[in-house]
Amino acid sequence: MVSIHNIDNVEYESRENVGVWHITDFSAYFQSEGDVKKSEEHFRNEATKDQIDGTVIAIENAEELGSDMRETLDHISEEWSALANDVSIERLAYVADGMMANTVKMNVKSDTDTEAFDSVEDAVEWCQQA
């Protein structure tokens, strides 16, 4: 099992039946393939637990992606879509400034009820209603 403490730029907390991942520097996170893989494994391990009904992914510093945006969105479309389909959650929420939360939401292809938010609190509240 992967410890979140061994992954740079990602923090995790559980709020009752919702897992919340904070990606504190989206640009730096996606520049480290090892951290991406480890955090995706951590997501899979945590989100498949029986008590987790929803997940929130909070994204910070996405504007620094620059020319890496297309590659990042391709990864999200492939890998994050697969993750969303593989785990047994009812709701998945993305939080980011500007259009990034909606951009990620539109790139994730999943049967899971998915929404974009401006605040973690609103996203957690929505997930807890599952």
**pLDDT per residue over 96-127, tens digit each?**
998 999 999 999 999 999 999 999 999 999 99
Q: What is the CATH number of the domain that holds 38?
A: 3.30.750
Cβ contacts of 27 within 8 Å, gap of 6 or more: 61, 62, 64, 65, 66, 68
Q: Which two structure tokens, joined as six digits, stand for 102?
A: 């909606």
Question: pLDDT tens digits for 37-82?
Answer: 999 999 999 999 999 999 999 999 888 877 778 888 899 999 999 9
- The total domain count for the chain is 1
Residues 6+ apart with CB under 8 A from 121: none
Nearest to 110 by CA among 130, 93, 123, 129: 93
Print the domain residue range for 9.
Answer: 4-128
